[in-house]
Amino acid sequence: MKDLKYLIEFENLLEDADNALVRQAQSEGGLAVGYTCYHMPEVLCNVGNCFSVRIRAPRTASIDIATYYMSNYTCEYARSLLERAIEGGYQFLDALAGVDACSAMNRCYEHMEILNCNTKPNFFVSHCDIPYKVEPYTVEQMRTQMRLHLLDELTARYGVDTSDESLLAAVREHNEVCRIITEIGELRALPNPPVTGYEFHVLNLVSYCCPKRLILPKLRETLEEIKAREPDEKPRFRAKVAVVGSEIDDLDFTRLLEEAGALVVADRYCYGSTPGREEIVIDENEDILTQIVRHYMLTSECARYMSEEKVAQRKITADRIARENGAEGIVYEQMKFCDFWAFERPLASHILHDEYGWPVLSIDRPYNVRNSGQLRTRFQAFVEALEIKRIHAQEEKQ
């Protein structure tokens, strides 16, 4: 297939947390609001003159200092962020929209505060309390938390307009990004998709890591380009897979998987498109902030939600997106040392295999997979297993 016009530019944007578009937006008066977790509604970080940056630690090498502070048995993602913060990598942020959802990330935020990793005078970290289940009173609780600890703080410190009109404008812009990413994502369901899993991963990630206003024109153009793109006559992939699990912002993960012969046709992981790129439907008759937080709570696939319907939802969603996009197997992954996904992965892997009939590859992985030989071997073996399964199914049919 012909290379996408902006692919290299997008890849370059993902090389740094404060990429060229972030710097441009800040030079134009924008406020960079970092966040890490789906529990923090992205759209709230795009209110007024703020723009959201889902923070990552690309090109992470040693995390020794963060390991001194947070020990070696804790989430590498949180440690990598702290290491980058200590190095001064998040000095550009004007605020960090934090949620107290998991211990490791919460401690990471706290270290950033205690170690004074960002010296901007008005910089703040919000510590919002996040519910474990979706009930009318927890929606109200979440709404209160977002209003008090994020929106009101933004207004008090920076004079940001957080009115309903401003929230609505942010939702509109957010929805356009979602429509574009969703439309591109749906093309992955075609028998011979005009977009690879890696390319989709890049496009989706830039939509999280760059100011919406500045990335939107390029995404619009890329959508048209992909729609008109001619896929290779003979596809390069040998099996289609869905990737499900905890946070992945590492492009190498998808690259490694696709180099092993897979094509990622569905993604259900934090920083992926499900959840995250669903449009927010707003009813004019109801409080807009309530609707926003409810949308995020209902669509969240976080293992932290412990109520029965959410536990079931996680399996149903994985099964649904894998089926709808024609996946032949599921790669169920988990960031090493993540407590929530450590418990979720074995149980869900068994359920998806035993009850939903999916071939499942269940793995834990480091934050940066780099060129992991161990993972490559497991991916290759899984792709082969899927191929053999397909051959057997065809033989049985004949």
- Of 45 and 303, which CB lies nearer to another protein in the complex structure? 303
- Of 68 and 370, which CB lies nearer to another protein in the complex structure? 68
Rule CB under 8 A: say whether 374 interacts with another protein.
no
Q: What is the DSSP string of 147-159?
A: IIIIIHHHHHHH-
**Burial class of 196 by CB neighbour count within 10 A (0 to 12, 13 to 18, 19+):** buried
Specify whether the CB–CB gap between 356 and 240 falls below 8 A: no
Question: CB under 8 A: which stretch of 186-194, 304-312, 372-380, 387-395 binds another protein?
Answer: 304-312
Q: What is the DSSP string of 87-149?
A: TTTTTT-SEEEEEE-SHHHHHHHHHHHHTT----TT-EEEEEE--SS--HHHHHHHHHHHIII
Rule CB under 8 A: say whether 107 interacts with another protein.
yes
- Of 126 and 222, which CB lies nearer to another protein in the complex structure? 126
Distance separating alpha carbons of residues 393 and 398, to the nearest angstrom: 9
Q: In whole angstroms, how large is the CA radius of gyration of the chain?
A: 21
Specify whether the CB–CB gap between 32 and 51 falls below 8 A: yes
Distance separating alpha carbons of residues 195 and 200, to the nearest angstrom: 7
| 328-347 binders of another protein (CB under 8 A) | 334, 336-337, 339-340, 342-347
- Of 279 and 364, which CB lies nearer to another protein in the complex structure? 364
Rule CB under 8 A: say whether 388 interacts with another protein.
no
Specify whether the CB–CB gap between 306 and 132 falls below 8 A: yes
Among 283, 308, 395, 396, the residue binding another protein under the rule CB under 8 A is 308
- Of 129 and 387, which CB lies nearer to another protein in the complex structure? 129
Angle of helix 76-86 versus helix 103-114 axis, rounded to 10: 10
Rule CB under 8 A: say whether 132 interacts with another protein.
yes
- Of 238 and 336, which CB lies nearer to another protein in the complex structure? 336
Question: CB under 8 A: which stretch of 7-15, 27-35, 55-63, 123-131 binds another protein?
Answer: 123-131
Rule CB under 8 A: say whether 68 interacts with another protein.
yes
- Of 194 and 245, which CB lies nearer to another protein in the complex structure? 245
- What is the x/- site pattern for another protein, positions 135-164, by CB under 8 A? x-xx-xx--xx--x----------------
Torsion of CA 237, 239, 243, 244, to 10 degrees: 180
Among 73, 119, 283, 373, the residue binding another protein under the rule CB under 8 A is 73
Residue with tokens 């065809």: 394
**Burial class of 284 by CB neighbour count within 10 A (0 to 12, 13 to 18, 19+):** exposed
Rule CB under 8 A: say whether 64 interacts with another protein.
no
Token duo for residue 101 = 């959802």
Among 130, 215, 270, 297, the residue binding another protein under the rule CB under 8 A is 130
* Binding site residues, another protein, CB under 8 A: 68-71, 73-75, 78, 100, 102-104, 106-108, 110-111, 114, 127-133, 135, 137-138, 140-141, 144-145, 148, 303-304, 306-308, 311, 334, 336-337, 339-340, 342-347, 349-350, 362, 364
